[in-house]
Chain A
């Protein structure tokens, strides 16, 4: 065989060989480029600035890898077809021991390629981890098997005055430079397009890993070390999910029950269709003008419009019946859409480091609003409103706490409820965790089977189980839940007694009748005497 000796007696490398090598090289490059085109097909949506760079790098790797693949498999197949012995043929191949030039070439070319790739990867990595301007810090905490996200919202000006007048300054933290922060906790990671997020992450137990596939960002959470990750959401080509102000909870529960085979996994993975109210069949011009006026008034009156919108829309529906489609002009529809429909994309935060039995179910959502305004209106304003105007009714307060995601219950428990307060605000709770016992109908069970098996009154049993869950395990479940701390405000799993009492008060109403099964006076007494040690 001719292996391209350059020192053959005839002299020189043959022209045919050079032409062959040239054609093969061109084909390999074209093949590699074609294979690299598959990158956007196999990757999920590009939802962060980082994803653009990483996918580009991957495409280069895939192109080079594809060319190597074609070269090796091509040479292999060619050899098998060309050099397979014919039937009846015997004997040996030529005694060729190697070719120094060829061996140098196939050592040097890969060496050059890896050097280039190393530089390229390094520059992408430097970009990804570089601090950005005006970063929004989100403190993430992983615990088996749930995520919580903490935001420190700066409070100043009129808002600060509202806290002072409402005697709610205790809800605020003072910063080093004398300003004030409202700590807001959520089990959904809220952000918005163009927001440079800096995740500061800690774990309460084992190693977890924070991954959002669409953001291409992943970082482990390590015990004893604080870790960081950065990403900047960008607008996506996807049709963003639309949020309207109907409660999804009823639908969710129905879907969950009907779809029991998959144990609510569609809920877990957030892919259930969202109802979008179509407006086309309920309006005429005159009433629509009234609606628009009311919308404007409502927005002026309540900066935190979201909880009020459902009620508003419901009453609007009742009023109106005629067709709208021919009557409403585009700018008006636009205004309506801006008021009532908030666009966001929602992805799943995945835990990728094995963390125990509930590892596969450990999830949270990341919700990317399409504007900072939508982010503030949907998340920050309601949180401020809750802090300034806490409801007096402990049941309502408990519902509000749970719906806000201040505690990481959603990762392990099922609860699909949409309680309302006297003003008609809806607090939507949509938990679909499967690692812990379901809380559907917990009021009945607390007053019934669990009460008789533990010997405690329902409110006592629930309160006790919040702080020392291991004392009364539900049959079939292990002792996996956090012990909340009542005494130490700096503890990551701090739950003030007032919060616990409110949560218990609310849980007591989760039953067929919706009436509380508990004695709240007894709860106050029990809470005063309760210590973690018993």
Chain B
């Protein structure tokens, strides 16, 4: 076993990047679609981030001055929230999933390539609908759009908003079905459920949530649209409707949606920490199964978003389930700590973002526990404390995972390494910009500043100045990454197949992978995180012999601009 060599099927074609025009066309190649998702999501991220900058600019002073009125401010944060959730984090993770899942499974493509493309192409029209709202009176009821503010008190843009979210939800469902079928059916021989990389587990859990929860969002949106355009009164209390109906159904989707937005980040983090500390995942089964536990328990906690509106008798059960979900989350955090503990930690940009995720997400978890307690939430609900909490989870968590994932897999996507020095500058600006933007929000919220206000008590101005200027640093840091990406695509160091010497299957092919990913059937290593064993070294050596030398971050040496023709198939093996 220790000296085993691994047979590699067929000849690989040299790596060649697809032409730029491929990315603007209908394509059923999962790698093209993955990049389409990611680039489009990043564009929306920049737009919605610009809105955040305007929000912070407005809040530098206690009065309304930048905005024309409270309405335009409401529009701003409504679109900021909606776009960050539905057109940035969710499609960005869908992009990672599209690109990586077939590769990690050694598959040629997703199970339903055409459906995959269709799901992606639903998103641009949805984005257009959101933006079109500006011409008919944009939505201004917040991303949660509680009726009756969102029904009888909102302009027509609210209808377009609902239609847009409808399309995005449909896209999510189609994508998730595709992931479930792919993961269930297309694993290679030799890869059982518990040999799957944890990113695949996380995507599987996420997809189950999407398929089960998103139809509820669709139902709620349908009722909302009917109330707005067809004169129904589902949410109109004066005509027998009930405003809590919306809140219950909306959060029945939107709380699980929080896990839709963070579980793939957990998966990415597991990959990063194991590879860059060269040590197996600590407690693989517990981490894999805790994703499933979170997915299930996540369906029972929704009403903790309604502790100030829900019937008082019903609040306690939801407090208990919300506390319970802290346990599987804790298992993951301790498992990750166990993974890096005693490892050989490489502090590169990808790892820095991974560790940054861990250090920030735990703060979001702790503030989440506080919010889970009904009496404390009575004070905190709808204050900046909540704003802080969910940005620690969704920015400190999801976005840091996305950044880490970009540094980690960019070599696979493009065949080039990202610039490490720029990466570290990006990390430092992002980390400290983030911390000083969002940590002070805890204090300002507890002290009495509600969320979603353009004018506030002047006693909070100093806090808001600190938050505002930190936010501008955070906003600027994004462009360091953008610059790095553009420079590195053309001038980055050639990566080769496996610069991180990782064991998962996406690295066991050239970078970027050829059409249909692998020539012949790839053979997975028995343990995706089996670092430190002789068998894993032999496997990696066999792969290097197959695909040629990869860039080695520890002994930097320029590789020729094109990957050498792979060596002939090794004769040893079965």
Contacts and interface: CB of A to CB of B under 8 A. Distances in A.
Interface of A: 1, 3, 42-44, 53-54, 57-58, 61-62, 64-65, 68-69, 72-73, 75-76, 79-80, 83-85, 89-99, 102-103, 106-107, 110-111, 114-115, 117-118, 121-122, 124-125, 128-129, 205-207, 209, 211, 213-214, 216-220, 222-225, 227, 261-263, 265-266, 268-269, 271, 348, 350-361, 434-435
B554 A90 contact: yes
A96 B284 CA distance: 11
Given A42-B443, A211-B450, A224-B238, A95 B375 contact: no
A356 B343 CA distance: 53
B532 A54 contact: no
A154 to B, nearest CB: 28
B359 A218 contact: no
Interface in B285-339: 285-286, 308-309, 312, 315-316, 319-320, 323-324, 326-327, 330-331, 333-335, 337-338
Given A43-B447, A57-B375, A98-B283, A69 B363 contact: yes
Given A129-B312, A356-B71, A265 B458 contact: yes
A122 B238 CA distance: 34
A359 to B, nearest CB: 6
B62 interface: yes
B374 A121 contact: yes
A352 B381 CA distance: 8
B280 A95 contact: yes
Contact of B278 (A69, A92, A98, A353): A92
B383 interface: yes
B458 A266 contact: yes
Contacts of B278: 91-93
Interface residues of B, number: 99
B384 to A, nearest CB: 11
Contacts of A65: 366-367, 369-370
Interface string B242-262: 111000000000000000000
B215 interface: no
B342 A222 contact: no
A90 B443 CA distance: 44
A356 B140 CA distance: 8
A361 B242 contact: no
A106 B74 contact: no
Given A83-B343, A98-B282, A265-B458, A435 B374 contact: no
A103 B290 CA distance: 12
A71 to B, nearest CB: 9
A91 B457 CA distance: 57
Contact of A103 (B286, B442, B452): B286
A92 B532 contact: yes
B346 A85 contact: yes
Interface stretch (B142-150, B476-484, B565-573): B142-150
B338 A102 contact: yes
Interface in B372-396: 373-376, 378-379, 381-383
Given A218-B381, A224-B237, 18 more contacts: A54-B375, A61-B369, A75-B341, A80-B340, A98-B286, A107-B330, A114-B327, A114-B369, A122-B374, A125-B315, A205-B148, A207-B309, A209-B309, A218-B378, A218-B382, A269-B458, A351-B450, A352-B383
Given A69-B363, A218-B381, A117 B456 contact: no
Which 5 pairs from chain A and chain B are nearest by CB?
A224-B237, A360-B453, A213-B448, A93-B279, A1-B342
Given A103-B286, A354-B142, A61 B459 contact: no
Given A121-B319, A218-B381, A75 B366 contact: no
Contacts of A128: 375, 378
B446 interface: yes
Given A106-B331, A261-B63, A353-B382, A83 B345 contact: yes
Contacts of B61: 261-262
